[in-house]
Structure formats: structure tokens, C-alpha cells
Amino acid sequence: NNNNNNNNNNNNITDPSLLLREAVTSLTKDISEISARQNVLRGTLLSNQQAASRAAAALAPLHDADAVFKRQLISCKALEMVVSDLENYAHALEKALLAFHTRRMAEVNRSLKELWQQTYRGSDIDFIQIRADAEGPGTRSYNYRVVMYCNGAELEMRGRCSAGQRVLACLLIRLALAETFCIECGVLALDEPTTNLDAANTESLAEALAALMKSRARQANFQLVLITHDERFGRLVGAREHVDTIWRVRKGR
């Protein structure tokens, strides 16, 4: 029995060197793990330091970002105010131009009506007018067309008038435009204005031109240049009474 007890006691006693080796192995493993973890952390730290350096370099120009932001904000608000003012000015100018166009067209049509009724010897057309049809609401683009009034009815003149009526309408429209827009620049040139006009309308056109020259007699800058082969028309206009110079042009001279 005593021998058995001694054997059991010998088995329970561990070799100290074995315990030491196990402890060394465990500590070595821990040191390796800690060293690896340390290397990872050093790499992370280095990466973060580099990122911080780059961020600092990027932020360096923005050291006065608040002041720059305030200046840009003020500039932006000022530009918004300028844009708003320009929009208001543009709208006001648009309205003024539309109103000016309306007034001028009314003046042109009033003068055109008077000229037609004074000049035209026929009875089939009461008077003519210029219509300005806007291409869209609030726009300054117009489609212009000439209309005639016959017994109170408005008709498109294109395709419904004779060559003589068309020529007369063109001449009178030019006169009406000159009356309205060329007060300060009164130069009017008519080249063969009696082409396609019959005798009656030729005479009435001459009377209208004579009346125009009489009304503009005191206007120093008014000039009428009349080119015609019709000497009778020249006499009807009143060449001797109203004309300063007559040039007779013949073949070769």
C-alpha cells in the first residue's frame, strides 16, 4: 500500500522545467500577437497622420473661409438685386416699346387713311390700313399686312387689288411712314411713281405730293427726289412752284 501511495504522489508532481517551457511558449505567443497588433496600429497611425497632413494642406487655403464666404454672399445678393432691377427695366422697356409701336402704327394708319381718301379716285376701296399681328403675347415680333376697307368690311389687299391700286398703296404707305417717322430726316425719293397708274390716280397722286410739299415748305431739311418720264406728272406736282432744281436726263447725256 505504501508503494502505491508513493507512485501516485510522484505522478502528481509536475516537472518544473516543463512548466517553465509552457509559460515561455505562452508568453512568446502573446508577445508575437501584441507585436503584430502593434505593427497594425503603427501602420494605421501612419496612414492617419498622412491623411491628417493632406487634410491640413488642403485646409490651409481655407483659413479665411468665413470671410470669403461672407464676401461671396454679399456679392451674390448684390447680383440678385441687379438681376431683379434689370428684369424690371426690361419689362418696363418692353411695355414702352409696345406702347410706342401702338402709337406710331395709329399715326401711320391715320395718315394713310387721309392720303388714300385724298388721292384714290375710285369708289371700290374706302381706305387702306396696315395691320400688325403680334406673333405671340407680349412679343415685339409682328407680321405686317395691308388691308382695305370696302363698305365697312375689312379685306386682305393681297390678291384682291389691281396693279395700279397696289402701286398707289405702296406709294402712299411710304408717304405715311415718312410723315410719321422721318420728321427730322425728311428725304423722300420716288422713282417712276406713276407706273401702272391711270390718269385719274396720277393726277390725284400729283395733288397729294403737291400738298405734302406745301405742308413741308418751312421744313429746312425736307427734300423730295422725283424721278419720272411723265412730264405731265411733273407739271401736275407743281415743278415750277415747289422745285428748286430740275435735271433733264437724255440718252448719252
Picking from 104, 112, 107, 101, the residue whose alpha carbon sits closest to that of residue 149 is 112
**In terms of DSSP bridges, do strands 127-134 and 142-150 run parallel, antiparallel, or are they unpaired?**
antiparallel
In tens, the pLDDT along 222-245 reads 777 888 888 888 888 876 666 777
Would you write out the chain's pLDDT as a tens digit for each of its 253 residues?
A: 545 555 555 555 567 888 888 888 888 998 999 999 999 999 999 999 999 999 888 888 878 888 888 999 999 999 999 999 999 999 999 889 888 888 999 999 999 998 888 888 888 899 999 998 877 665 667 888 999 999 889 999 888 888 778 888 888 898 888 878 876 666 778 888 888 788 888 888 888 778 777 777 776 777 778 888 888 888 888 766 667 777 788 876 6
Assigned C-alpha cell, 189: 425719293
Q: What is the pLDDT of residues 86-123, one digit of tens each?
A: 999 999 998 898 888 889 999 999 999 988 888 888 88
Q: How far apart are CA 214 and CA 208, in angstroms?
A: 10
Residues 6+ apart with CB under 8 A from 132: 101, 105, 142, 143, 144
Q: What are 173-182's pLDDT values in tens digits?
A: 988 888 788 7
pLDDT of residue 168: 83
Rounded to an integer, what distance in angstroms lies between the CA atom of residue 57 and that of residue 40?
A: 26
**Fold exhibited by the domain 89-242:** Rossmann fold (3.40.50)
User: Is pTM, for the whole model, over 0.95?
Assistant: no
204 CB-near residues (< 8 Å, 6+ apart) = 118, 119, 120, 121
Q: Is the dihedral of CA 111, 116, 118, 124 positive or negative?
A: negative
- For residue 72 the three cell numbers come to 461671396
For the chain, what are the domain ranges? 89-242
